[in-house]
Every structure is written in structure tokens, then in C-alpha cells.
């Protein structure tokens, strides 16, 4: 049995769950197909009302839901509350703005010989979402809210270590008044995803996860000629130039690296610091990272909780064992649970996995550069291109950064964050397609051209 809720603070299994049998899965898919046929005919006003009801319900249960997130994946209670609040905001955003995103877009009918020509946006049916554990509610919600507003049906295959969060999502939408079977959680192993995606009743898929998982899903979707949106992680550069405020830059650098216990695709991971300020930046950064409180994530005083999995902790230790210079941290504490301290490393070389891969833990790599151009060459040399950060007061440097950094998102004097209002996604091996904003809703809609003659 692979589906279990395990508390990373203690390493103890809290609850186990049975996987769906083949017959149960078939029943779920049949119900999803039937729901899609009727749900697409519901009014935009009704969908918006159900989203608002879901937001109100989630807000009323915020404390309990935040506690569930903490015990299932280990983020701090403060961070879990912020995640819940973000989900509430996302639901309300699509309830408010979804109707305008779904309006017909008029074209120039006269130029194409028509009395009227326009584009109407229509749902495509059941969409499979394969989601990770690191933001167990928000990752799923940023798919679910726009998909349900669009008139699509959702099938959630969540990470196997957050089944409670996965089942809560289904209950939330059901109790908010959405029609039966419009959103279902599938407790299935990763090996069953291919069967679901190949099923003709499933129209498309979205995946947030590892590059190998993305390759697998994209291959199946390609064979079946189905739309897929992929977000496959990042190793975001955080570039610091001499014109910036170092106190503010180092404050945000600490947050950028340790947010979500360092387990976020948009964490700042590779810090490129100009040589003129490198010593001062490193001194402040190391001191602030070392001052963070590592402990029980339910304690309000805790800054960094445990990693979500024991295997994740082994992954972050690779570079230390291969000769990287440890400026702070670098040793697992002698205590139960999967803890790892905030760590700052220099001397990272191509022989180390973290030079090429995404690091999922509170471990920062610092590189000293002589110019912004050098920082950009190093940043762009990585296979990922999700988010990116520049700290500079120089307008020419900002313009160069925006023009040349190879990423889906470019943040200046701030760390990369997802908002319902703006598109989220990457380039290169970080994936394709966009989540959130109007673009995220329209990824899984049929932009149907309508031509009306005279």
C-alpha cells in the first residue's frame, strides 16, 4: 500500500488509504464523463456562485485545514495558513473575473466576408491533474478554480503522501454545492496515470512535478493527441548587483530560499552576487540563514520545519559530501523527523548533482560574478527556466535582465511568487503552457471560431 499520510515531524504513519480498484476507477471515469456533459451547460453565474461558496467554506475551516497541511507535509503553521488564504483568494478571483474571461471575443467580420465573426470559449471536458505534495492545496487549487469556472470537470491524482489534502479538495467542492462528480480525487498510484490519460473520456492533463514525470505524461498525451500543461520545476537564479539595498536583498534572499522549508519550484536557489558586494552580501546572508529557528512546524516561533520526505533530505546532502564549502548549516540535526538546517554553500562544481538539478530543501548555492552579463550566462546555462530574480536599481541592468534571462517569469527587487492575477509557467525543461490568470483558464478551453454570413 503506497498511499499513506506520514507526519514528517516524527516519521510516523498517521493514516493509510486503499487505492482504487480497477472497477472503482472505471466507475469514477464514467461518472466524470457524465458530469462533463451536464456541467458544461451550467451558467457562468452558477459556477461563480459555487466558487464563492467554496471560498467561504475554506475560509471558515482555515485553521483545521492548515493543521492538516502541516501534519501531512511539514511546512510551518504560518506558511500553511498563508497557503489556505491564497486558495481562498484564488477561488474568489476566478469567481469575480471568470465571467469576463469567458465572454465572446468579437473579430472583424467585414474583413472575412461575414456579418459577424467571433471567438467563443467552451470547456473541453474532464481534465486530469497530476499534482505534487509541496503546496498540497494551492497547487491543486490553481488548476481547479479556473477549470471549474470554465465548465470543465476535474480529476485530481495527487501525490501519494498527501491523501488527506487530496480528499479534502473533493469534499470542499462537493459541500460548496458543485454538481455531483464535477471534481473527484483519484487515489491511484503513479503507474495508473497512463491508463487514465489514455482513456478517451479524459480530454487533457496538467502536471506539476519532476522532469521524468513530465516526460512520461507528455509522451502519452502526444500519442493520444491531447493537450497537456507541464510545470517541471526550476533552479531559479537570484542575481544581486551593487546598486541594490543589501539589507533588503538579503532579507528577501533568506525568504526566497527557505520558503516552504526550501521545497518550492520557485525558491531562489542559485545566488549570483557581483564581486564588488560579494563579501558583504555573503556575511549578511549567512548570518540571517543561521539565525532561523528550525523546529516543530506547529510552533509559531519556528521558521523552518522538516523536509516532507526522508529521500528528499538525502538528495540535499549530495554536494556537501562532494567537497562544497559549507558556510552555515550542512549537518542534519540529531532529532526525530526529516529535518535539515538552512545551509549556504560555495564551491559548487559540475560534479555535484545540485549544479545541474533542482534542490528541494533549504540549501543555497552562492556564486561570485564580475558582471550582470556573466551572471546571465551562468543562469541561462541551466536546463531549467521557471522564475528569475534581479536586485538592481539600475534601469539599464533591469532592461538587460528582462530581455536576456531565459525564464517564464522575471521578478525585479522581489522573489518569484505565484498570483492568480498573472500567468505562471516556465521555458526550457521547466515545462510549457501557463497556469493562472486568463491564460491559465483558456489552456483547457476550445477557442471556437464562429463565422456568420449575411
SS (H, E, C) 359-400: CCCCEEEEEEECCHHHHHHHHHCCCEECCCEEECCCHHHHHH
- What is the C-alpha separation between 352 and 291, in angstroms, rounded? 27
Dist CA 160 CA 103 (whole Å): 38
Sign of the dihedral defined by the CA atoms of residues 180, 183, 189, 191, in that order: positive
C-alpha cell at 272: 549570483
Of the candidates 146, 308, 307, the residue with the CA atom closest to the CA atom of residue 229: 146
How far apart (Å, rounded) are the C-alpha atoms in residues 266 and 22? 36
**Distance separating the N- and C-terminal Cα atoms of the chain:** 63
Instruction: Report the DSSP pairing between strands 389-391 and 236-240.
Output: parallel
What span, in angstroms and rounded, lies between the C-alpha atoms of 259 and 261? 5
Of 72, 87, 165, 265, which is the active-site residue?
A: 265
Torsion angle, CA of 145/150/156/158, rounded to 10 degrees? -40
> How long is the chain?
454
Strand-pairing partners, residue 270, are: 237, 365
Q: Grid coordinates in use for 333?
A: 540535526
Helix 62-73 / helix 77-101 crossing angle, nearest 10 deg: 120
E strand spans, 144-243: 153-157, 183-185, 202-208, 227-231, 236-240
d(CA 185, CA 63): 22
Q: Which three cell numbers stand for residue 216?
A: 512520461
What cell numbers appear for 176 in the block? 460548496
Q: Is 110 noted as a catalytic residue in this protein?
A: no
Annotated catalytic residue 165 = no
Which triple of cell numbers denotes residue 55?
471560498
Angle at 216 between CA 173 and CA 228, to 5 degrees: 50
Q: Kindly report the CA angle at 76 between 134 and 3, in degrees rounded to 5?
A: 40
CA distance 168 to 185: 9
Backbone phi, psi, residue 80, to 5°: -65, -40
- Among 231, 358, 397, 443, which one carries the catalytic annotation? 231
Q: Residues near 310 by Cβ (< 8 Å), separated by ≥ 6?
A: 11, 338
Question: Please, what sign has the CA dihedral across residues 332, 333, 339, 342?
Answer: negative
Which residues are marked as active site? 231, 265
Amino acid at each position: 500500500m503506497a498511499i499513506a499520510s506520514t507526519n514528517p515531524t516524527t516519521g510516523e504513519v498517521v493514516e493509510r488509504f486503499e487505492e482504487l480498484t480497477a472497477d472503482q476507477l472505471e466507475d469514477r471515469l464514467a461518472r466524470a464523463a457524465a458530469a462533463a456533459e451536464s456541467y458544461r451547460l451550467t451558467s457562468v453565474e452558477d459556477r461563480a456562485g459555487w466558487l464563492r461558496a467554496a471560498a467561504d467554506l475554506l475560509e471558515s475551516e482555515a485553521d483545521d485545514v492548515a493543521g492538516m497541511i502541516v501534519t501531512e507535509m511539514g511546512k510551518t503553521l504560518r506558511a500553511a495558513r498563508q497557503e489556505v488564504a491564497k486558495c481562498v483568494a484564488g477561488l474568489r478571483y476566478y469567481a469575480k473575473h471568470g465571467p469576463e474571461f469567458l465572454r465572446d471575443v468579437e473579430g472583424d467580420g467585414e474583413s472575412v466576408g461575414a456579418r459577424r465573426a467571433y471567438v467563443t470559449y467552451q470547456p473541453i471536458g474532464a481534465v486530469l491533474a497530476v499534482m505534487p505534495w509541496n503546496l498540497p492545496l494551492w497547487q491543486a487549487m490553481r488548476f481547479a478554480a479556473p477549470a471549474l469556472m470554465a465548465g470543465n470537470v476535474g480529476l485530481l491524482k495527487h501525490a501519494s503522501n498527501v491523501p488527506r489534502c487530496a480528499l479534502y479538495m473533493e469534499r470542499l467542492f462537493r459541500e460548496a454545492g458543485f454538481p455531483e462528480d464535477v471534481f473527484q480525487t483519484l487515489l491511484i498510484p503513479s503507474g495508473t496515470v497512463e491508463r487514465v490519460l489514455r482513456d478517451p473520456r479524459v480530454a487533457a492533463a496538467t502536471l506539476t512535478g519532476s522532469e521524468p514525470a513530465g516526460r512520461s505524461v507528455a509522451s502519452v498525451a502526444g500519442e493520444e493527441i491531447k493537450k497537456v500543461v507541464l510545470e517541471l520545476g526550476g533552479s531559479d537564479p537570484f542575481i544581486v548587483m551593487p546598486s541594490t539595498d543589501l539589507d533588503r536583498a538579503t532579507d528577501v534572499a533568506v525568504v526566497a530560499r527557505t520558503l516552504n522549508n526550501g521545497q518550492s519550484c520557485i525558491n531562489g536557489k542559485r545566488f549570483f552576487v557581483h564581486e564588488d558586494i560579494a563579501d558583504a552580501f555573503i556575511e549578511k546572508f549567512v548570518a540571517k540563514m543561521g539565525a532561523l529557528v528550525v523546529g516543530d512546524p506547529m510552533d509559531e516561533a519556528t521558521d523552518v520545519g522538516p523536509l516532507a520526505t526522508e529521500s528528499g533530505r538525502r538528495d540535499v546532502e549530495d554536494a556537501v559530501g562532494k567537497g562544497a564549502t559549507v558556510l552555515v548549516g550542512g549537518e542534519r540535526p540529531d532529532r526525530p523527523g526529516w529535518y535539515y538546517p538552512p545551509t549556504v554553500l560555495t564551491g559548487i562544481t559540475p560534479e555535484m548533482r545540485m549544479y545541474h538539478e533542482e534542490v528541494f530543501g533549504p540549501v543555497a548555492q552562492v556564486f561570485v560574478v564580475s558582471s550582470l552579463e556573466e551572471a546571465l550566462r551562468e543562469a541561462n546555462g541551466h536546463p531549467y527556466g521557471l522564475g528569475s530574480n534581479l536586485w538592481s536599481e539600475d534601469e539599464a541592468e533591469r532592461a538587460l535582465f528582462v530581455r536576456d534571462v531565459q525564464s517564464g517569469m522575471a521578478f525585479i527587487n522581489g522573489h518569484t511568487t505565484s498570483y492568480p492575477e498573472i500567468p505562471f509557467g516556465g521555458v526550457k525543461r521547466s515545462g510549457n503552457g501557463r497556469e493562472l490568470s486568463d491564460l491559465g483558464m483558456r489552456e483547457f478551453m476550445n477557442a471556437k471560431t464562429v463565422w456568420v454570413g449575411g
